[in-house]
């Protein structure tokens, strides 16, 4: 099978369920960057995030038969596995203990006037989580992770126009949440 070939989502799932190694490599090559960004957003430590990424792909390989296309896209299913694995890692005792010995994180900068807060600390992410999942994912990928609209369209396998429309709608909803 040719690695540079593009697969439809249903072809990917079917071949993964058949334990096709080249397709699994294709999946890793095409989605690992996006999943790593999501993991790094939660875990913050690059070495540990890479370990979590490997665990995520092992889970994808082992659990591909549990994927249900009627409940969402393949990328969303993988994204949830990555997010859950990242949260599990952050909640683990070993991670908590390693964090106790660290100084100020890279996300927090000391300024002359005190401490400058990152977006998590000021609650922006909590506000974004009030949005529907399809908007929340786009906001996260675009504004928190820095992907372009074109990259997001390719990653989520949706038209660029849909990405633009959903992002605009999400921003309008965020504005209405922030300004009561």
Give the mean pLDDT of 34-54: 90
Global pTM? 0.55
Which residues are CB-neighbours of 49 under 8 A, at least 6 positions away? 36, 39, 40, 43, 86
State the Cα–Cα distance between residues 49 and 36, nearest whole angstrom: 7
User: What's the mean per-residue pLDDT of the chain?
Assistant: 80
Instruction: Please compute, for residue 23, the number of CA atoms within 13 A of its CA located in the half-sphere on the CB side.
Output: 18
Measured CA to CA, the distance from residue 145 to residue 37 in angstroms comes to 7
Mean pLDDT (whole number) for 104-120: 42
Q: Which CATH number does the domain 119-175 belong to among 3.40.50.12160, 1.10.10.10, 1.20.120.1200, 3.40.630.30?
A: 1.10.10.10
Task: With a cut of 80, say whether residue 162 has pLDDT above it.
Answer: yes
Element (DSSP H or E) covering residue 150: helix 149-156
**Rounded distance, CA 130 to CA 154, Å?**
25
pLDDT for the residue numbered 147: 76
93-120 b/e (C-beta count within 10 Å ≥ 16 → b): eeeeeeeeeeeeeeeeeeeeeeeeeeee
The predicted-structure confidence for 64-107, as pLDDT tens digits, reads as follows 999 999 988 898 899 989 988 988 888 876 656 565 555 444 44
* H or E segment and range at residue 114: strand 114-116
Domains 1-100 and 119-175 share a fold: no
For the chain, domain boundaries: 1-100, 119-175
Q: What pLDDT shows up at residue 115? A: 39
In this prediction, residue 134 carries a pLDDT of 82
Tokens of 98: 């390693």
- Over the stretch 2-27, which tens digit does the pLDDT of each residue have? 446 788 889 999 999 999 999 999 99
Percentage of the chain beyond pLDDT 70 is 79
Among candidate residues 161, 158, 108, the one with its CA nearest the CA of residue 137: 158
Is residue 42 over pLDDT 90? no
Token pair 């393949």 is found at 74
**pLDDT of 140-159, one tens digit each?**
888 777 778 888 888 788 89
| From 52-56, 117-121, 151-155, 156-160, the region with the lowest mean pLDDT | 117-121
Topology (CATH) of 1-100: Rna Polymerase Sigma Factor; Chain: A (1.10.1740)
């Amino acid at each position: 099978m040719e690695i540079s070939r593009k697969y439809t989502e249903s072809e990917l799932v079917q071949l993964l369920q058949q334990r096709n190694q080249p397709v699994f490599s294709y999946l890793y090559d095409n989605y690992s960057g996006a999943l790593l960004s999501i993991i790094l957003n939660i875990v913050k430590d690059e070495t540990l995030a890479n370990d979590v990424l490997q665990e995520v792909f092992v889970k994808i390989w082992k659990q591909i038969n549990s994927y249900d296309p009627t409940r969402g896209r393949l990328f969303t299913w993988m994204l949830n596995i990555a997010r859950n694995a990242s949260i599990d890692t952050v909640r683990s005792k070993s991670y908590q203990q390693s964090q106790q010995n660290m100084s100020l994180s890279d996300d927090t900068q000391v300024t002359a006037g005190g401490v400058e807060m990152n977006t998590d600390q000021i609650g922006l992410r909590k506000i974004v989580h009030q949005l529907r999942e399809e908007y929340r994912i786009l906001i996260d990928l675009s504004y928190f992770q820095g992907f372009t609209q074109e990259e997001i369209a390719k990653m989520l396998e949706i038209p660029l126009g849909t990405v633009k429309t959903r992002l605009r709608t999400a921003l309008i909803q965020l504005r209405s949440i922030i300004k009561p």
